[in-house]
Structure formats: structure tokens, C-alpha cells
Amino acid sequence: MIQEADVSLKRVLNLCLLAFLLLWPVVDALNGYLYYNYSSFTSVSAPYKALGFVFVLMLLFVFEIFSFIKLFILAALSVFCIVYQYLVYGYAVESISWIVRALLTVALILYLVSGRGCDFFWCKNKLAKLMMFYFFVMAFNVALGVLGVGESQYSGGIGGKGFIIAGNEMSFLMLVSASIMLVHVSDRVCFLKLFFLLLVLLVFFLMKATKVAILGICLVYFCVLIHRGCFKVKYLPVVYLSMLVGGAIVFFLGYQFVVATGLMDRMIYLYHLHGGFWGAMLSGRIIFLQDAFNELIVGFSFFDVLFGIGVDQLLFVEDLLVEIDLIDVFMAFGVVGPLVFYFPWILGLVWSCELFKESPRSGVCFIFLIFIFIVVSVTAGHVVNSGISSSATAFFISYLYMLKEEQKNARRDE
């Protein structure tokens, strides 16, 4: 039985965690401002998140000991990798940084979904509002970049990222945030309002000017329509007509924007440079993969396959980062890497299947969304090891869990 004083203490600590999460994207923007404007730059984002990681660990240890033990097992596997890399290659600084990001994501998920019965502080609505705030901060930076304040996404003034350093990670954060925003409001507004929200979001994704972001938001919207139940027979004429007209509008406006910003010229350049459609879509990552396999992976020892050679070795010695997350994680941490870094998405797939039993359309929606995000991880990189978007990943998986529990309780009460 949790005493009243314990509940009050936990609420205060939850408020501290909420403040930490609210400041997360703001600190990333401040970090970028310092990086772009001061030569003697020292990161404020990395220590901020490291302190947050320690704080979440403390919360798990004090209030959710069984969840802490689960995290400890993952951390122990990661420590084996770090120790091996340090002893064999002499470096482990960047590897530790990557591991902390991955474990912070898992720690946030385990805390947000555990022990919700005592004070019900964390809920779907709060997570959705956090996602909206994250998207607003990123969209504001995109607008700044397009207007010439801060940095553009690509050279030549194509797209914008403002004061955010990692453009691909920023695109992923916006995509995950937008997915929860659309899912959350889809049951509360009519179809036309939902479509209008898509158009508003699409404007910022076009301004971002990354291939993954533009294609991703359209696929996410399709998944949200599944969640909403718009593909029932009685809705099909209205839905298909709206999608046809809306698709024509989106294509026309999107095409004009892509041409005006120079993104089309960049795509044509990449098409010729990398020899075809997939070369352009993957920005030459197939060539990076071939180089990494021929020059590095084929020479792996048994323990390299098991524990990896480390991020430091990849970045500063071999210079063979592929920017395909699954490959980079394997090279850096061996077979242990995918288990640790993709653990949130494995949880998400398990919970999506459980959600499917309660609500098939919601389960299918989230299975497709997770598949989309994993494809983004493979095609764009910087997703599962992201410092910027790791909290958004935790919110998404936690939101899925809370939706699953809500559906299960609703069916039990029927």
C-alpha cells in the first residue's frame, strides 16, 4: 500500500520529469544555436540528457524496481560491448553516448507505462500534448531555416532546420510527433478537419524538404484513416473522393514547392550521381553499405560479430558509417546492438499485436506505423540512436501501450 506521502513525492518527481521533457527540444535548439554561433562550442544537450537518464534511473529504482531490473539486463549487455571495445580498440566514448541514448528511450518507456494506478499522472492526453509541443518547436525551427535564420536542411538553401543540428533526426521527430497528433485527434474531429490538419502539417514537412518526411506524413495519414475506421463500405465513396481531390491538391502544391525550393533539382542530381531511383532515394547509402561490407564487415572476428567494434572505431578510424541504422548498430555493437537499440520497436510490435485483439483497426494502424518508422530507420538513418528524437520514440510506444490498456478495459467493462 503506497502511503499518501509517497504519492505526493512521486507527483513532485513526475512534475520534475515533465519539466525535463518539456525543455528537451528547447535545449536541443539552444545547443544548435551555440554550435552555429560560437567556435568554442561545448554541447549542453548531451550532459542534459545524461542527467535526465540518471534521474529516470532513480525513479525506476525507487518506484518501479521490476522495471529497473529489466533495464539493468539491457544495460549489462551493453556494458559487455563497451568493455570489449575499450580493451580491444582503446576507444568507447562515442559508444557510451549511443548506448545512453538507447537506454534513456527504454527507461522512459518502462517508467511511463509502469505503476499508473496510484496517481494516474501519465496518460495518453498528456503524451499527445507533449508531442504537439515538440512538433511546434521543430516546425518553428524549420520556418526559421527557410527564412534564412539558422541553417537550411541542404546546401543551396533547400529546406530548413533552424538551430537544430541533426536534420534527419529532426525529420523523424516531426514524423513521430505528427503521427500521434493525428491519431489522437482522429476520434475527436470530423474527416474534413482531420484532412485540414494534414495539410497544415504537410506545409511544414514540405518546408523541411526531406524525402522521408514528405513521403512519411502521407503514409502516416493513411494509417490514421485505418485507425479511424474510414475504410468501412458506407464511408468509401466520401473517403475515396476526398482522397482523390485532396491528393490532387497536395500533389500540385507539393510539386510547386519542391520545384521552387530546389529539392527537385537535388533529386535529379542524386538520380544521376547514384545511378537510379533507389540510389537517389537512399542518397548513395547502397554504395556506403558495399564499402563497409567489403572493407570492414568481412574481416570481423567472432567477438566483433558478438560485441561490435565501437562507434569510435567507425567514426574516427574506419570512417565507414553507413547511415543505415541496422547496419551501423550491428557494426558498432554486434548482434547485441539490434536487441538494445530496437527494443522499443520490438515492444511496440508486441503491444500492437495485443491491441489488434481488442481493436483490429487500431492494431493494424500501429503495426503499419512501426513498419514505416523502421523503414525510415533503414533508409534515412539516425533514428534508433537519435539524441533528439529518443523521447518522442518513448512517447509513441508509451501512447500505444496506454491505448491498448484503454481498449482492454473498455472491452472488459462491456
- 176-189: pLDDT as tens digits: 999 999 999 988 88
Q: Cell 481531390: give the residue.
A: 245
Would you state the pLDDT for residue 262? 64
Q: Cell 537535388: give the residue.
A: 266
Cα torsion 199, 204, 210, 212: sign: negative
Would you state the pLDDT for residue 120? 74
Distance CA 395, CA 113 (A): 10
Query: What percentage of the chain exceeds 70 in pLDDT?
Result: 82
Would you state the pLDDT for residue 6? 57
Q: Which among 246-255, 274-283, 321-330, 394-403 has the top mean pLDDT? A: 394-403
Would you state the pLDDT for residue 86? 92
pLDDT-based confidence at residue 292 (cuts at 50, 70, 90): confident
Distance CA 4, CA 72 (A): 29
Does position 199 have pLDDT exceeding 80, yes or no? Answer: yes
pLDDT-based confidence at residue 121 (cuts at 50, 70, 90): confident
Average pLDDT score over the chain: 84
Distance CA 277, CA 270 (A): 9
SS (H, E, C) the chain: CCCHHHHHHHHHHHHHHHHHHHHHHHHHHHHHHHHHHCCCCCCCHHHHHHHHHHHHHHHHHHHCHHHHHHHHHHHHHHHHHHHHHHHHHCCCHHHHHHHHHHHHHHHHHHHHCCCCCCCCCCCHHHHHHHHHHHHHHHHHHHHHHHCCCCECCECCCECCCECCCCHHHHHHHHHHHHHHHHHHHHCCCCHHHHHHHHHHHHHHHHHHCCHHHHHHHHHHHHHHHHHHCCCCHHHHHHHHHHHHHHHHHHHHHHHHHHHHHCHHHHHHHHHHHHCCHHHHHCCCHHHHHHHHHHHCHHHCCHHHHHHCCCHHHHHHHHCCCCCCHHHHHHHHHCCHHHHHHCHHHHHHHHHHHHHHHHCHHHHHHHHHHHHHHHHHHHHCCCCCCCCCCHHHHHHHHHHHHHHHHHHHHHHHHC
- Top pLDDT among 74 and 281 is at 74
Distance CA 261, CA 214 (A): 14
Q: Which residues fall within 8 angstroms of residue 381, CB to CB, at 6 or more apart?
A: 168, 285, 322, 323, 324, 325, 328
DSSP structure string for 123-176 = -HHHHHHHHHHHHHHHHHHHHHHHTTSSB-SBTTTBS--BT-S-HHHHHHHHHH
First vs last Cα of the chain: how many Å apart?
29
pLDDT-based confidence at residue 258 (cuts at 50, 70, 90): low
Lowest mean pLDDT among 1-15, 179-193, 246-260, 349-363: 246-260
Nearest alpha carbon to residue 186 among 48, 358, 366, 27 = 366
Radius of gyration (C-alpha) of the chain in whole angstroms? 22
Paired with 192 in beta bridges are none
Does position 220 have pLDDT exceeding 50, yes or no? Answer: yes
Does position 329 have pLDDT exceeding 70, yes or no? Answer: yes
CB atoms within 10 A of CB 331: 26
Does position 222 have pLDDT exceeding 80, yes or no? Answer: yes
Distance CA 251, CA 125 (A): 33
Distance CA 166, CA 403 (A): 31
Q: Which among 20-29, 276-285, 293-302 has the top mean pLDDT? A: 20-29
Rounded to 5 degrees, what angle do the CA atoms 171, 283, 176 make?
20
| Global confidence as pTM | 0.89
